[in-house]
Amino acid sequence: MQLYLKYIKVRIPYYKVVIIMARIDDPKKTIKIENVVASTAIGTTLDLPKITLQLDGADYNKERFPGVVYRTKEPKTAALIFGSGKIVCTGAKSIDDVHNGLKKVFSELKSMGVDVMDNPEIIVQNIVASADLGAVLNLNAIAIGLGLENIEYEPEQFPGLVYRIAEPKVVMLLFGSGKLVVTGGKKPIDADAAVDKIVEELDGLGLL
């Protein structure tokens, strides 16, 4: 029993050192783009029931959703096609995937005889990214430290803290585990800037 207790005393400090090393590593290296949402318009109206019949794998139920849902496999995206000619692409993991997925949709529509305008403009509406700060967070202290005017934190309704950042203009969801989600970005570098900002602010408050 004495030897066992001695072993425990030696191992605990070592465990603490491992945790500290994980915290020091750059959190930006953990950033992962989870979803890119973009919109475009092909410049003509569409007959959605007809599109559904000709577009293999398309799903259309106007009682549930006003647009046709068409999924591409390579890259893996979902295109929401509306009668106005507007198309929303979601589920992409990169901006390149958005462009490649929509190119496939344009090609399919053209093959059906749809007059798709040349080079439709594609506008990124939202990039959702996740990251890990590598440390357990005290959300109550963070809510006070960052200023209640910028924070929404009601743990009874949602387990995360909502932090609105002005520059870059994004919304960050912080969780007690140290995981976070950045949403509202228009460019991948917005997530990098947001993570840099929260690390700097939490470090300055002694909360990271």
Q: Is the confidence at residue 9, as pLDDT, over 80?
A: no
pTM score, two decimals? 0.84
Question: How many angstroms separate the CA atoms of 69 and 79, rounded?
Answer: 6
Integer angstrom CA distances of residue 134 from 26, 42, 130, 131: 9, 44, 13, 9
The confidence score (pLDDT) of residue 148 equals: 83
Under CATH, domain 38-124 is a member of which superfamily? TATA-Binding Protein (3.30.310.10)
Residue 24: band (very low, low, confident or very high) from pLDDT cuts 50, 70, 90: very low
Q: Is the confidence at residue 4, as pLDDT, over 50?
A: no
Under CATH, domain 133-205 is a member of which superfamily? TATA-Binding Protein (3.30.310.10)
Take residue 140 and report the two structure tokens written for it.
Answer: 């109550």
Residue 149: band (very low, low, confident or very high) from pLDDT cuts 50, 70, 90: confident
**Better-scored residue on pLDDT, 21 or 107:** 107
Q: Which residues contact 122 (CB under 8 A, 6 or more apart)?
A: 38, 39, 40, 89, 98, 99, 102
Strand partners, 86: 41
Residue type present at position 63: E
- Mean pLDDT (the chain) is 89
Ordered by start, the domain boundaries in the chain are: 38-124, 133-205
Other CB atoms closer than 10 Å to residue 174's CB: what's the count? 23
Q: Is the confidence at residue 2, as pLDDT, over 70?
A: no
Q: Is the confidence at residue 17, as pLDDT, over 90?
A: no
The confidence score (pLDDT) of residue 14 equals: 41
Q: Could you tell me if residue 134 is left (phi over 0), alpha (psi between -120 and 50 degrees) or otherwise beta?
A: left
The confidence score (pLDDT) of residue 19 equals: 41
Residue 32: band (very low, low, confident or very high) from pLDDT cuts 50, 70, 90: very high
Interval 66-84: pLDDT, tens: 999 999 999 999 999 999 9
Q: Is the confidence at residue 178, as pLDDT, over 60?
A: yes
